[in-house]
Amino acid sequence: MEVAMKYFKTMFVNGGFKEMEISSSMLQTKEFLSPSCTYKMTSLPILTVVEHSDVSPPPATVGDGGSLPLTYFDFMWLNSLPVHHLFFYELPDVTKTYFTQTIVPNLKHSLSITLQHFFPFAGNLIVFPTDPSRKPEIRYKEGDSVAVTIAECSLDFDDLTGNHPRDCEKFYRLIPLLGKASKVSDYVSVPVFSIQVTLFPNRGVSIGMTNLHALGDASTRFGFVKAWTTIARSGTDESFRATGTLPVYDRWLINNPKLEESYLKRVNFEGFNEEYRPRSLSGPTDKVRATFVLTRSTINRLKKRVSTDFPTLGYVSSFTVACGYIWSCIGKSRNDELEAFGFAVDYRARMDPPIPAAYFGNCIGGCMVMVETSRLTGRDGFATAAKLIGEDLHKLLTEKDALVKDVFAMADNVLSNRMPTTMTGVAGTPKLKFYDIDFGWGKPKKHETISIDYNSSISLSACKESNEDLEIGVCLPANEMEAFVRIFHDGLQAFL
């Protein structure tokens, strides 16, 4: 224990967050019933912060190679919203003593070892606002660290980990904030990653993570968490090293000076100053989140419907029919004239030559489909939505230069904030098995992508019980969710 703890600079804090004030209208109970879920809005209980810590890699393990220049794939995310994830683990016998004396020290020790391999997570985003021509970078110097918050919460663990609609703001106390920016000489330094570990006495533990998107995409984040869990289970990094999944930092794999110059001009550096702090989620809010499952048999029936309606369609996948069905249900729950749907595509295997799967950073681009809402709400609304998504994805994957063109289009939309107000975005992918994230306590009881709350979007992942089934997280205003739940279940009845 003494060996592990010497890497940590710990400050204990007394007290905690007070219960937030909410309006009288928010205190009024609202309920709605559906074939599978019941929802009730309640006020938030108190969460108590037990400890603030800073966890660094072991001394002298990173060396002088602690700077990582950003590429054009990273530039488009410099002005984007942070990413928040929550993992819930059911531990019915966990006590506060066991939590503070065993679980927390082990998590810190294994995190420290993991950071020596994934040093950018402990570093800072370096931006030169007075000289935008200088390329931003992720920089690590000896002593840099990840901020770790240890907390205790009285929220209802079973309620949080259910699939029924739940008040979004209940989750916001469980995700950590990123640190404030600091002005140093001619650059601004911004922390890129933070962690919060929360105890639910005699029920379980949650691990919340927040990162700047410029740090890396979902594949990079997944690689980091998988390494952390492997090291947490064994106590050393020997088994992780043996897997051969060390991150690849070679920036020459993505080297296009012309594209970098063009992308860099699209970044808005005006907000990067000593007052800069990434946005965070807070209440009160009328948004709720719910989880929906599409089984393999249901997905196959959806595929059959699309193939029947559009027999010449060349691309019908589980992803396109799942997204098409959810998008059509969202369109029917709103009253807008125009709907847009966006999703990201991992380019690693699609670059020429291909980039290693363990490449560290962002290597994704996006597709965005726009359509009149009336086309989503008719009898053929679902099949039409799946067709539009499939056609755009097929075009991206097959046409020459489509990758670069779509990256430019997505960057223009993201960096200039020209996304439609009714944009539905997809976070995550079933290819990354987040329910395999095991710190030694078994699979998570629930995984939630909290950052979809910013834009009332959806998340997509493989299910805990079966990788063949899809789990879809949906965030919507409460009145839209009530309509969505009914539409979702009623629509599936038509395919039985």
DSSP per position, 247-278: PB--GGGS--HHHHHHHHTT---TT-STT---
Degrees (nearest 5) of the Cα angle 257, 259, 262? 110
> CA dist 286 to 124, 156, 168, 244, 330, Å?
34, 19, 8, 46, 17
Q: What's the one-letter identity of residue 125?
A: L
Per-residue pLDDT 10s for the chain (496 aa) are: 333 333 333 332 333 322 233 222 232 223 333 333 333 344 445 899 999 999 999 998 887 667 899 999 999 899 889 999 999 999 999 999 999 999 999 999 999 999 999 999 999 999 998 888 899 999 999 999 999 999 999 999 999 999 999 999 999 999 999 998 998 888 999 999 999 999 999 999 999 999 999 999 999 999 999 999 999 999 999 989 888 789 999 999 998 888 888 888 888 888 888 788 888 998 889 999 999 999 999 999 999 999 999 988 878 899 999 999 999 999 888 877 888 898 888 989 888 889 999 999 999 987 888 888 888 887 788 999 999 999 888 887 776 565 555 555 555 554 444 555 578 889 999 999 999 999 999 999 999 999 999 988 899 999 998 889 999 999 999 999 999 999 999 999 877 6
Distance from CA of residue 254 to its chain's centroid? Answer: 23
- Could you tell me if 4 and 105 are in contact, meaning their C-beta atoms sit under 8 angstroms apart? yes
Q: What does pTM read for this prediction? A: 0.87
Residue 456's closest CA among 368, 327, 319, 322? 327
Query: For residue range 305-322, what is the model confidence (pLDDT) as tens digits?
Result: 999 999 888 788 999 999
For the annotated catalytic residues, the residue numbers are: 213, 438
> CA dist 140 to 26, 117, 121, 184, Å?
44, 12, 9, 14
Residue 192's closest CA among 250, 89, 278? 278
Extract the tokens encoding 393.
């994805």
Distance CA 153, CA 332 (A): 37
Extract the tokens encoding 110.
């294994």
* Bridge partner residues of 39 (DSSP): 32
Helix (H, G, I), strand (E, B) or coil at 414: helix
